[in-house]
Amino acid sequence: MAGGIRIALIPGDGIGREVMAEARPCLDWVRSRGRHLETLDLPLGADHCLATGETLSEATFATLRDTCDGLLFGAVGDPRIPDGHHAEAILLRLRQSLELTVNFRPCLPLLAEQDGGINLEVFRENTEGPYCLQGSTEPGRAVDLAVHTESAVRRLLEAAFQRAAERRRPLVLAHKANVLKHGHGLWVRIFEDLHRAMPEVEARTMHADALLCALVQAPRSFSLIAADNYLGDLISDLSAAFAGGMGMAPSLSWAPHRPYRCAALAEPVHGSAPDIAGQGVANPVGMFLSTALLFRHLGWEAEAADLEDAVARALAAGARTQDLGGTLSTKEMGQAIRSRLGT
Ligand code: ATP
C-alpha cells in the first residue's frame, strides 16, 4: 500500500487500554523506519458512553470508514454496563458495517515450555451466524437467529483456501451440517465447491464436536481451521490455550472485497478482562502481535516480521507476565519487547 496511511486507535475498556498503551510506541517505531503513518485517537468505550451516552456516532463511524486505512483495537466490555450494549454498538457494529468478514487468528508456538510444534490458524467468519444480533425473548421461549449469507461464507472460505495453498498446509472446515442443515449445509456446499476449484489444497470437513475432541488429543495434526462465527469463536479460544493462553493470541479482521477505505481491524483475541483490569498485570503479547498483523496487512512486511521477532526474542529470553507463570507487569513486558526493537 503506497502513500500515507491513517490508522485509528481505539483502546476501549479494561485491559484493552493497558495493552494498547504498550503497543502504541510501535507506531512511532514504524515512522522511524520511514513509514508515513498518521494516527487518530478515539476514546470510545464505557467511560465515554457513561459520560456522553454515545457509543459510536454516525459521524465517527463515517470518519473511520472513509478516512482511515485500518483500526487498532484494544477491547470493550465494562461491568458498569452489564448488558454490554456499548460493546455491541462499537465492536460488532465496526465488524458488520465495515464488512470485516474474515477474522484470522493465528496461534504461534512462542513458548518453549509449550513444547513447540502447535501452529494453528483459525479463519472465523466475523459478521454473521448467531452473532448477527437478530432475535427475541418472548414468553416461554428465546430466539437467536443465525444468518449465513453465501457472499460472506464464500469470502471467508476463499481466504482460508488461499492461505492453505500459500502455506501448503491442510485445511479443515468445522461444521454441524448434520443438525444445522440449512446454515452449515451452505458452508459445506461452498467449501466443496472451492475445493473442486483448488484440488491441490488438502481439504476436508469435520463435525465440530469430533474436531474439538481431536484438537485436544492431537493438536499438531491440525494446521488451518475454518469455521462460522460461533464455532470459530470457541475453536480459536481453545487454540489460544495451546499458545499459552488468552493473552498470547492476536487477530486481524479484514474485508477482502474492500468496500470501504477502512478494510482492516487488528485486536487481541482476549476481551477487557474486568477481573484483572487496573492491576497492571495483563499480558500485552496478543496486542503486539495484532499490531504486527496490521503492519503486514498494510504491506509493511519487514516491520511486521521484526516486531514478531522482538516478541519471540523477549519470550525466548524468559520475559513472562503472571498468566505465563512469570512476574513481569504489563509495562515491564511491553518494555522487554520494545527494547528488542531498539525503542
Ligand atoms: P469477552 O467477553 O470479550 O471474551 P472477557 O473479559 O469475559 O471478554 P477475556 O478477556 O477474553 O474474557 O478473558 C477471560 C479471562 O482470561 C480474563 O478474565 C482474564 O483472567 C484472562 N485474560 C484475558 N486476557 C488476558 C491477558 N491479556 N493477560 C492476562 N490474562 C488475560
* Residues contacting residue 192 through CB under 8 Å, at least 6 positions apart: 205
Say which residue the cell 517505531 belongs to.
Answer: 29
The CATH code belonging to domain 1-105+246-343 is 3.40.718.10
Alpha-helix residue ranges (DSSP H) falling in the chain: 15-23, 25-32, 46-52, 58-67, 85-87, 93-97, 150-167, 183-197, 208-217, 229-242, 285-297, 301-316, 330-339
Grid coordinates belonging to 57: 456516532
Q: Ligand 1: distance of its center to the CA of 158 in Å?
A: 30
- Is residue 289 within 8 Å of residue 311, measured between CB atoms? yes
Residue 238 φ/ψ, nearest 5 degrees: -65, -40
CA atoms within 13 A on the CB side of 23: 34
Q: Is 66 one of the catalytic residues?
A: no
HEC letters along 212-272 = HHHHHHCHHHCCEEEECHHHHHHHHHHHHHHCCCHHHCEEEEECCCCCCCCCEEEEECCCC
In 3D, which of 163, 159, 162, 192 has the Cα closest to residue 177? Answer: 192
Q: Is 233 one of the catalytic residues?
A: yes
User: Which atom of ligand 1 is nearest the CA belonging to 270?
Assistant: 11
Identify which of 17, 20, 78, 276 to mutate to test ligand 1's pocket (most ligand atoms within 8 A of the CB): 276
Fold match between 1-105+246-343 and 115-243? yes
Q: Determine if ligand 1 sits within 6 Å of the CB of residue 233.
A: no
- Is residue 176 within 8 Å of residue 209, measured between CB atoms? yes
Taking the alpha carbons at both ends of the chain, their separation in whole angstroms is 25
- Is residue 40 within 8 Å of residue 6, measured between CB atoms? yes
* Residues 115-243, CATH architecture: 3-Layer(aba) Sandwich (3.40)
- Is residue 75 within 8 Å of residue 272, measured between CB atoms? yes
Domain ranges in the chain are: 1-105+246-343, 115-243
**Which residue among the candidates 131, 181, 230, 275 is catalytic per the annotation?**
131
pLDDT at site 313: 96
Closest C-alpha to ligand 1, atom 14: 273
By the 10 Å C-beta count (0-12 exposed, 13-18 middle, 19+ buried), 275 is classed as exposed
DSSP 210: H
Q: What's the pLDDT tens digit per position in 193-218? A: 999 999 999 999 999 999 999 999 99
User: Which atom of ligand 1 is nearest the CA belonging to 84?
Assistant: 2
* Sheet containing 5-12: order of strands: 37-41, 5-12, 70-75, 264-268, 250-254, 102-107, 120-125, 224-227, 171-175, 203-207
Identify which of 246, 281, 285, 331 to mutate to test ligand 1's pocket (most ligand atoms within 8 A of the CB): 246
Q: Give Cα separations from 228 to 42, 122, 232, 237 (angstroms).
A: 30, 10, 6, 14
pLDDT at site 342: 82
**Which residue among the candidates 66, 209, 309, 331 is catalytic per the annotation?**
209
- Is residue 146 within 8 Å of residue 181, measured between CB atoms? no
**Which residue among the candidates 78, 228, 233, 323 is catalytic per the annotation?**
233
Question: Which residues does the chain have with pLDDT short of 70?
Answer: 1-3, 115-116
Residue 143 three-state SS: strand
Residue 327 three-state SS: coil
pLDDT at site 3: 60
Q: Ligand 1: distance of its center to the CA of 81 in Å?
A: 17
Q: Determine if ligand 1 sits within 6 Å of the CB of residue 272.
A: yes
Please state whether 318 falls in left (phi above 0), alpha (psi between -120 and 50) or beta.
left
pTM: 0.95
Q: Determine if ligand 1 sits within 6 Å of the CB of residue 15.
A: yes
| Chain length of the chain | 343
Q: Is 131 one of the catalytic residues?
A: yes
User: Which atom of ligand 1 is nearest the CA belonging to 237?
Assistant: 11
